[in-house]
Amino acid sequence: MELYCKDCGAPIQYGGRGRHPVYCAECRKQRDKLTKEKAYKKWLESEKGHKWWSEYMKSDSRKEQDRKYYQNNKQSIREKQQRYCQTESGKKSRQAQKARRRAREAGVEHEPWTREKIIKRDNGICQICGLPVYDYDDAPKRLKPQIDHVVPISAGGADKADNLRLTHAFCNNHKHAGEADVEHCKSVISSELKALAEKLL
């Protein structure tokens, strides 16, 4: 009688006694591991488990274990971090971390925000020149979106959504820390849009 694993489809060795095995040895190990992890997670969510975890996280032994683990696995940890930073979620996490650090160093208020939310809130329109931005890889550099602080952080402006606006890369760079020449920005962006339309057509 031929038996196959329910998960991976690999053939199962069966001696002909007892109940028919449903999973191969490797899949059974994985399932046992997941069951143990689930039980451990459930215990940590209990009052006793939560209390133990809180005390353990504050203990010197835990810090010492973390230090030894980092020293023994420094290279692999750095490689994992580098791979994660190349992913989309890693890039977003790094941007959020930079924003928090910049606000902390400047001593201004900060609240979490994402580039996508600001673009959606401003309907994809540059808040300096009033023309649309283009958020795709092949778009001309001047037309790509940037998030600008209305009151610069260097001048005490908060790093919060109500002090942020969507702009073209050109408009934001032309503005610097002062006021932008709106008419000049419009003329440059209009010519860029016209060139883009001719290229696409």
Residue 81: is it exposed, middle or buried by C-beta count within 10 angstroms (0-12/13-18/19+)? Answer: exposed
* 55-74 pLDDT, tens digit each: 888 888 888 888 888 899 99
Would you state the pLDDT for residue 201?
67
- In sequence order, which residues have a C-beta less than 8 Å from that of residue 192 and are 6 or more positions away? 140, 142, 143, 170
* Residue 131 near residue 190, CB atoms below 8 Å: yes
Domains of the chain: 3-58 (no CATH), 112-200 (1.10.30)
168: exposed, middle or buried (C-beta count within 10 Å: 0-12, 13-18, 19+)?
buried
Query: What pLDDT sits at residue 145?
Result: 92
Condensed to tens digits (0 to 9), the pLDDT of residues 123-170 reads 999 999 999 999 888 888 889 999 999 988 988 999 999 999 999 999
Q: What are phi and psi of 14, to 5 degrees?
A: -130, 125
Q: Is the pLDDT of residue 30 over 70?
A: yes
Quick one: pLDDT at residue 120?
Answer: 93
Measured distance CA(166)–CA(152) in Å, rounded = 14
43 pLDDT more than 90 = no
- DSSP symbols for the chain: --EE-TTT--EE---SSSSPP-S-HHHHHHHHHHHHHHHHHHHHHSHHHHHHHHHHHHSHHHHHHHHHHHHHSHHHHHHHHHHHHHSHHHHHHHHHHHHHHHHHHHT--B----HHHHHHHTTTB-TTT--B---STTS-GGGSEEEEESS-GGGT--BSGGGEEEEEHHHHHHHTTS---HHHHHHHHHHHHHHHHHHH-
For the question of whether the overall pTM of this predicted structure is more than 0.75, the answer is: no
Residue 92 has pLDDT above 70, yes or no: yes
Rounded to the nearest integer, the mean pLDDT of the chain is 87
Residue 177 has pLDDT above 60, yes or no: no
- Percent over 90 (pLDDT), the chain: 32
Q: How far is CA 94 from the centre of its chain?
A: 7
**Predicted local confidence at residue 40, as pLDDT:** 86
User: What is the pLDDT averaged over residues 170-181?
Assistant: 78
Percent of the chain with pLDDT over 70: 96
Cα–Cα distance for residue pair 170/114, rounded to 1 Å? 21
